[in-house]
Amino acid sequence: MLNNPFLNSHIALADADICCSEVSWNPHPAFTGVALRHMVTSGHTQGRFSIHLVRVDPGCVLETHNHPDNWEFHSVVSGSARCELDGRITEYAAGVCGVMPQGVAHKVVAGDDGVFILATFVPALL
């Protein structure tokens, strides 16, 4: 799996820092080979947004789904993938971003090296 500089970094909040390496991985409840680190949650932002580091392992898929109550912003940190958004395909690589409108179906298929995505949800997912 890829080296990810985000894993040994931190997130600066107004009153503290979140050490990324201390946030545990949570297996996705529905998709094998997908895990999330819930970096910034609703408790940090009064419910306005949340930020999650998403890992999709090589050969795995974040299957078609949507978020009926949230917009989602993807920022690819490392790796490669193919994002399918409402029938449109975008190749994901480090630095590529994507906007998933509320309620719109999307899917992420990891490349041979897997992918790390920093996903921001508005309002907060968790």
| HEC assignment per residue over the chain | CCCCHHHHCEEECCCCEEEHHHCCCEECCCCCCEEEEEEECHHHHCCCCEEEEEEECCCCEEEEECCCCCEEEEEEEEEEEEEEECCEEEEEECCCEEEECCCCCEEEEEEEEEEEEEEEEECCCC
Measured at the alpha carbon of residue 75, what is the angle toward residues 70 and 79, in degrees to the nearest 5? 130
- pLDDT, position 1: 54
Give the predicted TM-score (pTM) of the model. 0.93
Query: Domains in the chain, start-ordered, CATH in brackets?
Result: 5-122 (2.60.120.10)
- pLDDT, position 52: 97
Q: Tokens representing 91?
A: 């190749």
Instruction: Please state, as a whole number, how many other Cβ atoms lie within 10 Å of the Cβ of residue 100.
Output: 22
Q: Tokens representing 93?
A: 């690589």
Q: How far apart are CA 107 and CA 11, in angstroms?
A: 27
- pLDDT, position 74: 98
One digit per residue, pLDDT tens: the chain, 126 residues? 566 767 778 899 998 899 888 999 999 999 999 999 999 999 999 999 999 999 999 999 999 999 999 999 999 999 999 999 999 999 999 999 999 999 999 999 999 999 999 999 999 999
